[in-house]
Structure 1
Amino acid sequence: MERQQEESRVDLIIVGGGVTGAGVFREAVRNGLRCLLVEQKDFAWGTSSRSSKLIHGGLRYLKEAQFKLTLESVKERERLLTEAEGLVSPVDFLMPLYESSGPGRAAMAAGLTVYDIIAGKFRHRYLRSSKVQELVPGINTGKLKGGYLFMDAQVDDARLVLRLIGEGTRQGGRALNYTEAQAVLRDEKGAVRGVSLRDVATGKTWEVAAPAVVNATGVWAETLHPSPESKVHLRPLRGSHLVFSRQTLPVDQAISFFHPVDKRPLFIIPWEGVVLLGTTDLDHDGDVNLEPFISDDEADYLMAALKRVVPDAQVTRDDALTSFAGVRPVLSQGRKEASRESREHAVWVDHGLVTVTGGKLTTFRRLAWDTLKAAQPFIREDPLTGEGDAVFSERRGTTPDGLDTETYKRLWSRYGKGTLDLLALDVPHGLEPIADSPYIWAELAYAAEHEAVCHLDDLLLRRVRMGLVMKNGGLDLMDTIREVVQQPLTWDDERWAREVEAYEALWTRCYSPRPADAR
């Protein structure tokens, strides 16, 4: 993923460095295509680092009769649990049932039975009220009838993107962040012939020739390729979250529940040593080129839900460690409530320009193959193969001396073969944990040296998720961070000072419990 000199011609150019573009890149490279992926900001800068961190089958989609989406989602979840073990991990959700609100026992049983039939594994079970209270001390017991326990999965979303891109680059693909696709170039007959690119840092421009271009830019998709359906357009929807320490909000059980006002499904999930509360789902009317942040109304909405499900929790918004918000690219005809919009994807083809948009994190691989099948006729005559291959076929070896098995498993799931280089680094504090987080200091050094870090927020918000799980976003540890990463980043003292100042301003504005612009 290190920044390199550009090529003049490839088989396929992928515009967009989120999970969809990364998925297309990974699948295309291992099918023998010469690929270039470009991203105008950082890899996973948009939705793919700000999701709810769930790889889920979409239980709520059954209620909306989106059976195809649920089927695809459950199957992909099961694949990822096996092929991306450690990066994608199972999580048991508890859904409490109340007499006065929410679905009844029969409806939940029917939905979860279908869910399990699709997965081919019977996992859900009904719990009595006493067991629900045992799993979640302090849960609202008013008219509590019982609850259901069912399984889904969670992921480090940004590291999933980086793992896909890393796999592709190790097999010969090229990936450039902070590289803008200015225009899709066409010949006199209108067929795609390449892309005009600009290096965001230097302003340098150049062209790369290719017979096909994939537009995987999420909420920006219609800037390169307007919707071919006059009534269907992208609808940016914002989902915001609050993040608490497990000491402040001691919930060890993932909970799925319904908001007391609008009955939307929400969750509380332990993740990466913290607890996530989310998510909202509303129209985002801000500039999609700027980092989104939680609004006061959204925070109040989430806190009201938390107070209803765990009424004895002595927690306020100011007790949160951090917050984050992401903007989802949803295809819409503009007639539904935001939370009822379909998460299915679409593929549009225009003489070699293949646009893929919509969809969800869980089904990124399905999106990738639908996209490649649409692009294949413009690239070569023989069809691409390997659709059934494993997402990540590599397997870790024996745990090295001096490292516990769980840490090694976690590192390998996120860095693949790069783990061997990571563990070989001779850096200050090396294998020591970073404060009380699940991360070790060598991860920062490895990312700084090998993962195309251009700014400090790339490192602390996406490569290693310190900015999401630590009070003050890791700013209190900046002296040690500098000791570990300044040399591999090759930043002089002046550059380091600028980056710290910029990161602090960004974190305060968009990731603190009370973002500055929301005050």
Structure 2
Amino acid sequence: MNAGGHANWQGGWRASLPELLTREWDVLVIGGGITGAGILLEASRRGLRALLVEGRDFAWGTSSRSSKLVHGGLRYLAQGHVKLTREAVREREALLRDAPGLVEPQRFAFPDYGASSRKRRTMLAGLALYDLFAGRRERHWQDASEFALLAPNVARAGLAGGIVYTDAKTDDARLVLRTLLEARRHGAAAVNYITVRSLLKDGDKVTGAVLRDEADGAGLFEVRARLVIDAGGVWAGQLATGGPRLRPLRGSHLLLPSWRLPLAQAISLMHPVDGRPVFAFPWEGATLVGTTDVDHRDGLALEAAITRPELDYLLQALQAQFPELALQETDVIATYAGVRPVLDSGTGDAPSTLGREHAIWCGKGLVSVTGGKLTTFRAIALDVLRQARPQLPGWNDALAPCPIYAPVETPTAPRRMPAPLLRRLTGRHGPQAQALVDAAQDGELEHIPGTETLWAELRWAARAEAVEHLDDLLLRRTRIGLLLRGGGAGHMDRIRAICQAELGWNDARWEQEQAAYTALWSRHYSLPSAASNEPITAA
């Protein structure tokens, strides 16, 4: 058993796993992405005894591989999805209010290359509605000279000006962890690396699930629950039939050093070939570029990875928008790809035109949910619980929205730390921020070069955040596997010095984990090595 990682994760959940899994629960949530975490939080804060299990790591799937944007979705508004956009904008505002330091405003600049005044007015009208939903006025038009000062590296030829508006960004994996931590404060439990082998039934009614501990191979457990909620995202629906048909779509991204693509705000642009929206924005000390929208045909058992056509497509957009920078694939630090659970319209429409609504379907003792957006996870959770309420006799919560996270005191540090850094630690780690600071050793309250991550965040994750494998630590608890070349290989000696003892791994285990992580990073997070004939679907 992993003494370091297991013993401290929110009170030793895995250390007491046999006892934990023999309890009877009101709700068993399957899936440790943002949707499952949101359901766990909303259920537990409303008095339900709730347990979440995740077959891999928390946020392993789509919820650590998103575009990192908390946004209303302007293109969804343009496609007529007014209700979805209104809901997303309102949830964005709630997250900005309740999760400062984790969800932060991000200004966007959209260059206009000779678009008609009518098209410009249409865009501004759409943004006016966007702002109306948020109760603020952020949009404005800048002429070519003003816009060039705002975004000095954009192409000048034909630049008529640009539109500026505000959305938000986050660290999606940390958003999941913060939500699970908040659920724990309300008495919930969550365990990673627990797979569902089958459902328990009494006649045709689901009464729980047979679970297996994949981390320790400790055998099978029968867990009883009044209601099982399948929140597996793109994997949802594998436990029961009757749900909507999904169209898994892959979105791939690039990370570049901020000095190669320096941006004071996000740049939103239209791809020169097919007119799809592409963006680049500052994130965690690097510049993040995305995204593609292609049908994912490689199956869901393995991690998704960018293809050569997707890499070329994104580089083509950058080279057209920032011609003077002469960006090449050698400038790319890392790549990543995620598979979105998009509902299939059945019409064969281009991927980027499909909506991002969620779907819920119910059986006896089982409720399943899929689709939706990162931004709207709380709204989805409340909708799921409304559908679930008839199957939980005696529980009659009104399910009115309440603050997503309770206020947290800013930690005090042994030396003076900048207010933005303390805000960041508070947002990302919530009530554990003070313990993280207190655990830091000499030099660990300094940034890892090239990132906004502190060395102390590695120590704390290894000590207290259910790390089972090295990729959990470097790709999800922290993001340095995305932010440093080679996945952080150049800093591995110091990472090992900080984390090995906290994890309770002997030398052989560390070497095994490092080799596995290096191979994983090379396959799924580096530049694609082989050509592919897979097309990039036009908008």
TM range (shorter): over 0.9
Aligned-pair distance for 1:516? 7.2
Which residue type is aligned with residue 478 of structure 2? V
SS in 2 for 1:280: coil
User: In the aligned structure 1, how far is the partner of 2:309 from the partner of 2:295?
Assistant: 13
Partner in structure 2 of residue 250 of structure 1: 262
Partner in structure 2 of residue 354 of structure 1: 367
Deviation by residue 1:87-116 (Cα, 9 ceiling, x = unmatched)? 000011001111269982111111111111
Q: 1:152 aligned to 2:167?
A: yes
Q: Quick check: 1:61–1:67 contact (8 Å CA) kept in 2?
A: yes
Partner in structure 2 of residue 238 of structure 1: 250
Q: 1:472 aligns with which of 471, 486, 492?
A: 486
SS in 2 for 1:261: coil
Which residue type is aligned with residue 187 of structure 2? G
Q: 2:39 aligns with which of 24, 35, 39?
A: 24
Partner in structure 2 of residue 392 of structure 1: 405
Q: 1:310 aligned to 2:322?
A: yes
Partner in structure 1 of residue 271 of structure 2: 259
Deviation by residue 1:13-70 (Cα, 9 ceiling, x = unmatched)? 0000000000001111111211110001000000000000000011111111101001
Relative distance call for 1:54 and 1:102 in structure 2 (3 A) is farther
Partner in structure 2 of residue 162 of structure 1: 177
User: In the aligned structure 1, how far is the partner of 2:118 from the partner of 2:176?
Assistant: 35
Relative distance call for 1:516 and 1:156 in structure 2 (3 A) is farther
Q: Quick check: 1:244–1:275 contact (8 Å CA) kept in 2?
A: yes
Aligned-pair distance for 1:422? 0.8
Partner in structure 2 of residue 227 of structure 1: 242
Deviation by residue 1:151-198 (Cα, 9 ceiling, x = unmatched)? 00000000000001111123321111110011222102x112111101
User: In the aligned structure 1, how far is the partner of 2:474 from the partner of 2:101?
Assistant: 21
Task: Normalising by structure 1, report the TM-score.
Answer: 0.96
Partner in structure 1 of residue 5 of structure 2: none
Aligned-pair distance for 1:339? 0.5
Aligned-pair distance for 1:419? 0.9
For the aligned residues, what is the CA RMSD? 1.7
Q: 1:367 aligned to 2:367?
A: no
User: In the aligned structure 1, how far is the partner of 2:500 from the partner of 2:530?
Assistant: 28
User: In the aligned structure 2, how far is the partner of 1:421 from the partner of 1:457?
Assistant: 23
Aligned-pair distance for 1:345? 0.4
Q: 1:185 aligned to 2:197?
A: no
Q: 2:72 aligns with which of 25, 47, 57?
A: 57
Which residue type is aligned with residue 129 of structure 2? V
Relative distance call for 1:503 and 1:128 in structure 2 (3 A) is same
Q: Quick check: 2:286–2:450 contact (8 Å CA) kept in 1?
A: no
Larger relative contact order (Cα-Cα within 8 Å, sequence gap ≥ 6):
2
SS in 1 for 2:180: helix
User: In the aligned structure 1, how far is the partner of 2:357 from the partner of 2:476?
Assistant: 26
Partner in structure 1 of residue 350 of structure 2: 337
Partner in structure 2 of residue 508 of structure 1: 522
Relative distance call for 1:49 and 1:130 in structure 2 (3 A) is same
Deviation by residue 1:223-271 (Cα, 9 ceiling, x = unmatched)? 113334xxx4011100001100011212222111111111111101111
Relative distance call for 1:194 and 1:517 in structure 2 (3 A) is farther
Aligned-pair distance for 1:428? 5.3
Unaligned runs of 5+ in 1: none
Q: Quick check: 2:25–2:50 contact (8 Å CA) kept in 1?
A: yes
Aligned-pair distance for 1:400? 3.4
SS in 2 for 1:57: coil
Summarize the alignment of residues 456-471 of structure 1 with structure 2, pairs less than 5 Å apart: 456-471=470-485
SS in 2 for 1:304: helix
User: In the aligned structure 2, how far is the partner of 1:295 from the partner of 1:237?
Assistant: 13
Q: 1:325 aligns with which of 333, 337, 345?
A: 337
User: In the aligned structure 2, how far is the partner of 1:115 from the partner of 1:30?
Assistant: 31
Summarize the alignment of residues 446-457 of structure 1 with structure 2, pairs less than 5 Å apart: 446-457=460-471
Q: 1:425 aligned to 2:439?
A: yes
Deviation by residue 1:465-497 (Cα, 9 ceiling, x = unmatched)? 100111111111111001101011000000000
User: In the aligned structure 2, how far is the partner of 1:357 from the partner of 1:101?
Assistant: 39
Which residue type is aligned with residue 363 of structure 2? D
Aligned-pair distance for 1:464? 0.6
Relative distance call for 1:249 and 1:102 in structure 2 (3 A) is farther
Relative distance call for 1:477 and 1:225 in structure 2 (3 A) is same
Which residue type is aligned with residue 147 of structure 1? G
SS in 2 for 1:434: coil
Larger displacement relative to structure 2 (454-463 or 367-376): 367-376
Partner in structure 2 of residue 106 of structure 1: 121
Partner in structure 2 of residue 284 of structure 1: 296
Q: Quick check: 1:447–1:453 contact (8 Å CA) kept in 2?
A: yes
Identical aligned residues as a percent: 46
Aligned-pair distance for 1:377? 2.1
Q: Quick check: 2:256–2:331 contact (8 Å CA) kept in 1?
A: yes
Q: Quick check: 2:382–2:399 contact (8 Å CA) kept in 1?
A: no
Q: Quick check: 2:103–2:169 contact (8 Å CA) kept in 1?
A: yes
SS in 2 for 1:212: strand
User: In the aligned structure 1, how far is the partner of 2:118 from the partner of 2:328?
Assistant: 28
Deviation by residue 1:332-365 (Cα, 9 ceiling, x = unmatched)? 1332110011100011110121111100000000
SS in 1 for 2:319: helix
Which residue type is aligned with residue 311 of structure 1? P
User: In the aligned structure 1, how far is the partner of 2:532 from the partner of 2:229?
Assistant: 36
Q: 1:483 aligned to 2:510?
A: no
Aligned-pair distance for 1:398? 6.1
Which residue type is aligned with residue 322 of structure 2? V
SS in 1 for 2:361: strand
Larger displacement relative to structure 2 (385-394 or 288-297): 385-394
Q: 1:33 aligned to 2:48?
A: yes
Unaligned runs of 5+ in 2: 1-8, 534-539
Which residue type is aligned with residue 461 of structure 1? L
Which residue type is aligned with residue 409 of structure 1? R
Q: Quick check: 2:251–2:291 contact (8 Å CA) kept in 1?
A: yes
